[in-house]
Structures are given as C-alpha cells and as structure tokens.
Chains A and B, each alone.
Chain A
Amino acid sequence: MTDIVQRSRQDRSASLAILVGATIVAALVAIATFAPFLAPYDAMKMAAGPRLSAPSATHLFGTDEFGRDLFSRILLGARLSLGIGIAAVMSGLLVGALLGLIAAFSSRYVEIAVLRLIDVLYSFPDTLIALTLVAFLGPGMENATLAIAASLVPFYARVTYALSAGERAKPYVEAARLTGIGSTRLVRVHVMPNIGHSMIVMATIGFSSAILSAAGLSFLGLGVQPPSPEWGAILASGRNYITKAPWILIFPGLALCVTVLSFNLIGDSSRELFDPRRGRR
C-alpha cells in the first residue's frame, strides 16, 4: 500500500544507473579484449611520435616522455587494470567467502575462532596489507594481484558471514537441516541461491577497490613494472611532467575514474534494486 509511487521512481533511476554502468563496463571489456587491434600504434614503441607532444589528430592523447603514443598505452592499460581487478576479486572472493561460510556453518568454537581471525585481519588497512605482501614477495604484476586479493579477503569473509548467519536462522534452512544433510549440501543447495545475488553485488564493489589498489601499487613502483602501460604506472611517470605535459596525468586519471564510477554505479544500484527487505525477487 505504502510508497508504491515513490518506489517506482527510485527503481527507474536505479535501472538507468545500472544501464549506464553496464554499458561503460561492456565498452571497457571490449577495449581490453581488442586493444591490440584498436591501438593505432605499438604501445611499447618509443619515438612513435615527437616526445611530450600535446594531443593532436595523429596522437589522440598525445605522447609521453619516450615518444610513445599515450592513447595506445591507455588502451592496453585497460587490459592490465581489468585483468588484475578481476583476478584479485575472484581469488579474494573465493577465499573470503569460504572463510565466511566456514564460520557460519561450523561448530560454535570454529565460528568464534574464525571470526576473531577475520577481525584481526580486518583491522589492518587493505593498502597496508597489500604493501606488506609486496614488500615480502617483491614487486610485479602477479605479486600485486596476490596482495590485493589478500587485502580483500577480510571484507568478503565478513560480508559472507553476515549473509550466511542471516540465512541460517530462516525456517527453510532449518527445515533443510532437519532432513539430516551435511553442511556442504546445505550451503550449496539451500543457502547459496539466496546469498548469491548479494555476493555478485559485493564483487562489483570490490572491483573498483581492486583497480584503484592496483593503480596505487603501480604508482608506488611496487606493482606492474615499466614499461607495462598500467594506468597507475603511467600516472607515476607523469608526475614529473605535470606542467610540461599534463595530459600524461589527465588521461590515465580519467580512465581510472570512469572505470571505478561505472562499477560503482552497477554495484550501488543493484543493491537498491535487489534489496530483500523490499520484497523483490
């Protein structure tokens, strides 16, 4: 009865947001996949044009300090950023969700122990975890991915635990327990279908965080190593030319903004549309 009219207005803006976000992400994925074909120049080739030249018809985004075409580098950088983002989120989600599920569906002692562990991990800022791991393992793309994944684990573990604890109290999960099935089957068949939605939304939120972390690590020289055209690395080199060639900072920055924004749009609006309290599917 209540705010039906209000709701549909909110729904429409949320749906629009998802559409916009999804379109951008789709474009990004397309760019990342077909980057080598789309790029007008070889991203690694130095002196493809005059050094530090401003954006023009021949070099859409200008060139960097080595004369490399910035546009091509940004395009290829999409591969790296998205690649790291996806890999980090997938692995972080897997481990984190597993921890959260173990905490929710084991004995009380295991539950308390795992929750304490998650609390301890969570108390470290994720950047710090990433930095520490990279310091131990050394720089590079793979290690950076691992570090970012590890920093995401506590968040995913907590979220999964909260979702699972909510489900475990529901009568239909209790009814399933009564049939005497084991915890694995209980989780797989009865619990996952109900929390899967929320997990996907959480993954979307994690993407933007992961991509930013990757850029951050590269910026500090700890992530992807030059000459790879990761956006953060490009930003790092652009620091020195802020007055002479600001485009080296602007374009990777813009690329990061747009990417993070689009993932956030999807995540936020999905959360709104699929909020179980609203009684939707």
Chain B
Amino acid sequence: MLNPPYLQVRDLSVSFPGKDADFKAVDNVSFDLAQGEILALVGESGGGKSVTSLSIMKLLPEASQLAGKISINGIDIAKKDRRSMENVRGAKVGMIFQEPMTSLNPVLTIARQMTEGLRRHMSLSKKEAAEVAKASLLDLGITDPDRIMAQYPHQLSGGMRQRVMIAAAIALKPAILIADEPTTALDVTVQAHVLDLLVDLKSQRGTGILLITHDIAVVAETADRVAMMRNGRIVEMGSVEEVLNAPKHEYTKALLASHLSVEAGLKIRTGGSGRRAQ
C-alpha cells in the first residue's frame, strides 16, 4: 500500500434478526483500502461479501444491526444517519452492482439517471451535467454517447448497461469504488473490457477499488491485495502474490484447487478418462 488508507473497516459485525437466533452475516471483519489499489473480497455465495459492501454504503435494511467502525477519509460513518450519508455516497464512495437491469430505473432515460446524481452532488445545471455524463461515457470507450443517453435501460445490452453504470459511478470522481460482482452476469468478452476498465481507473485516476467476486482467476489478473471471506469472517488476507502462490488457510487452498482453468480442463479429459467417439 503506497497511500494511506482511505477506507478503514474495524471489527465490523452485521447481524439480522432470525426466528430463533440472530444471524451473523459479517463477523468481526477488518481491512483497509487505499486509493490507487484494488482489494479483492473473495468467497462463495452467502459468505458475507455483499453485506460488507452494503454496510460501508449504509444501504442495509432497517432490521439489521451493525457494530464496529467504518471510517471514510478519517470520518467514522458507522454511526451516521441517512441524511449525512447522502453526501458521502456517490461523491466519495461509488458503487456498482451485479445486476445492471435492476439497478437502473426502467422508466427513466439514461441521460436522466446519470445527470441526477451529478446535479445533486456537484450543483451543475442540466446542460453541464449532461456534458459531464457524456464525457464519462466517452471515457469508457462508448463512441456514440448521445444515442445511448437517449435510450431506456431495456433497450441496451447487459454489457452496455454495466458500462453505463460504471460511467455514472465514476462521473462523480469518487475516491473509492465498490464493485459488487460487476462482471458475473456478463459475457466473458465484455467482462474482459470491464476488468480492463477497472484496472485503468486504478492506475490512471488513482481510484481505490473494492472488488467483490467469487472468481479467483479474476483476482489473479486484476487485484493487488485479496481478502478471503468465509461465513462472515476474513480467513486470509495479503498481497495477491502471497495469498495465491503460498496460501495458508484451508479455505483458500480449497478454492484454488477447485478452480478449473482451460489448460487443466484439457488435461483432465485427454489425460484420464478420454472417451472415444465410435
């Protein structure tokens, strides 16, 4: 880590009321994220990754209980209420979600949705905000931003919607971006573009990125540091080289072992039980 941490999470615990006992989704989680680095949060479904990211953004449902410290640029936001969080969200910490269809309002044009946040946070006029939004789309490699901005979410492909979401998030120039499974629902070629984009954001703009994913190969390609999460706890954390080349915890080892690469796939088939067509 070259920069001081912008996001600091200390002893974060989140629980939800259940029938007999409370369910602890996140159990004493601590980590730092600085600008200009990508920290990957890895684990299988239900392990607590999404809840962690939602708690940072204070987007959890009313019924949840949060304990611990979350500081953004030195300010503890764990105790903050909704109103004060609205200034933090978007401007300091941006977020992109897995399902771009459900994150975008189906009855508003893209232009409307992108300019809304801009106008609120940066006090821009409608025209100025449209210009900023357009520039953001161009930045993402979208060559005809005017056409895209005039459309509705259902008229765009999944990959395009995700790019629009990212453009909207980075137009506010947040210091930190939380990307919750941003490529899981996308085709692999589109995923490659989006991942390149995220790495670009990190190196060119110095954005700190918390990348949540279940795909360990994505981590190897894009992240600088990684934290392995299981049942709400971080079981191993360190630089990507350390953790992936010399894993210490059983869970990390198991996850690495169950990853199937193209080369490994070929080997399994031809090496062992190769069936022959008759």
Contacts and interface: CB of A to CB of B under 8 A. Distances in A.
Nearest to B54: A1
Interface string B241-259: 0000000000000000000
Contacts of B25: 1
A4 B18 CA distance: 8
B16 interface: yes
B268 interface: no
Interface string A1-42: 111110000000000000000000000000000000000000
Interface residue range, chain B? under 10
Nearest to B25: A1
A2 B17 CA distance: 11
Most chain A C-beta atoms within 10 Å of own C-beta, residue among B18, B25, B51, B63: B63
B61 interface: yes
A1 B15 CA distance: 10
Nearest to B18: A4
Contacts of A1: 16, 25, 51, 61
Contact of A3 (B18, B51, B61): B61
A3 B17 CA distance: 10
A277 to B, nearest CB: 15
Nearest to A3: B61
Interface residue range, chain A? under 10
Contacts of A4: 16-18, 63
Contacts of A5: 17, 62-63
Contacts of A3: 61, 63
B143 to A, nearest CB: 37
A43 to B, nearest CB: 52
B33 to A, nearest CB: 24
Nearest to A5: B63
A270 B18 CA distance: 24
A8 to B, nearest CB: 9
Nearest to A8: B19
Interface in B8-58: 16-18, 25, 51
Contacts of B51: 1
Contacts of A2: 61
A1 B24 CA distance: 11
B102 to A, nearest CB: 13
B55 to A, nearest CB: 12
A4 B63 CA distance: 8
Most chain B C-beta atoms within 10 Å of own C-beta, residue among A1, A2, A4: A1
Contacts of B16: 1, 4
A4 B25 CA distance: 15
Interface in B181-229: none
A5 B61 CA distance: 10
Interface in B54-75: 61-63
A92 to B, nearest CB: 38
A247 to B, nearest CB: 51
A5 B19 CA distance: 10
A2 B23 CA distance: 13
Most chain B C-beta atoms within 10 Å of own C-beta, residue among A2, A3, A4: A4
Nearest to B60: A1
B24 to A, nearest CB: 13
A2 B50 CA distance: 13
A3 B60 CA distance: 11
A180 B18 CA distance: 45
A103 B73 CA distance: 63
A1 to B, nearest CB: 6
Contacts of B63: 3-5
A50 B51 CA distance: 76
A249 B16 CA distance: 55
Nearest to B63: A5
A165 B17 CA distance: 38
B16 to A, nearest CB: 6
Nearest to B23: A1
A5 to B, nearest CB: 5
A268 to B, nearest CB: 26
Contacts of B61: 1-3
A1 B16 CA distance: 7
A1 B62 CA distance: 11
Nearest to B51: A1
Nearest to B62: A5
14 contacts: A1-B16, A1-B25, A1-B51, A1-B61, A2-B61, A3-B61, A3-B63, A4-B16, A4-B17, A4-B18, A4-B63, A5-B17, A5-B62, A5-B63
Given A1-B51, A4-B17, A5-B63, 11 more contacts: A1-B16, A1-B25, A1-B61, A2-B61, A3-B61, A3-B63, A4-B16, A4-B18, A4-B63, A5-B17, A5-B62
Cβ-closest 3 pairs across A and B: A5-B63, A2-B61, A1-B16
